[in-house]
Amino acid sequence: MTLGKCVQPIIDARLADLVEMDQVITDEVRLVQAPGHTPGHVSVAIESGGRTAFITGDLIFDPVQWAEIERGSDAHGDAAAAESMRRHIRDRYTNSGHLIIGTHFAPPTAGHVIKDGERWSFRSYVEASQEASS
């Protein structure tokens, strides 16, 4: 089934609210333009209680992409833009303590981007919690 067949009936029934790519949903939740996957693709930033989380959407499909940023997906409509955005997000969130939630990551999906020397990795929230309690 194509996206048009899935989504168009919702739009036709006036059940969808179309928003801007940088829409502020609430004081804590906003959309972030994340070009490269499809036109209009967004990720989600959440800021509350002095803490930040970032939901990747279709920007990153696998945690290995934090280390191999050039590894894209055939699903990206503009591979260069997607890689540039992944690089930007990695630079912004590496070693920041901000929670990253990978929409397509196998569980556990939430964690942190870590850089140790010249190597990047994704440490799941579960791994970090277990290490802290040991």
Longest Cα–Cα distance of the chain, Å, equals 55
- Read off the pLDDT of residues 28-46 as tens digits, 9 standing for 90 and up: 999 999 988 888 889 999 9
- Read off the pLDDT of residues 53-75 as tens digits, 9 standing for 90 and up: 999 999 998 999 999 988 877 77
What pLDDT sits at residue 32?
95
Select, from the ranges 50-54, 66-70, 124-128, the one with the highest average predicted confidence (pLDDT). 50-54
Kindly state the average pLDDT of the residues 120-126.
88
Amino acid in position 13: A
Q: Is the pLDDT of residue 1 over 60?
A: no
> CA dihedral in degrees (94, 91, 53, 40; nearest 10)?
-150
Q: 């929230």: which residue's tokens?
A: 125
Class at the top of the CATH hierarchy for domain 19-133: alpha beta
Kindly state the average pLDDT of the residues 101-114.
94
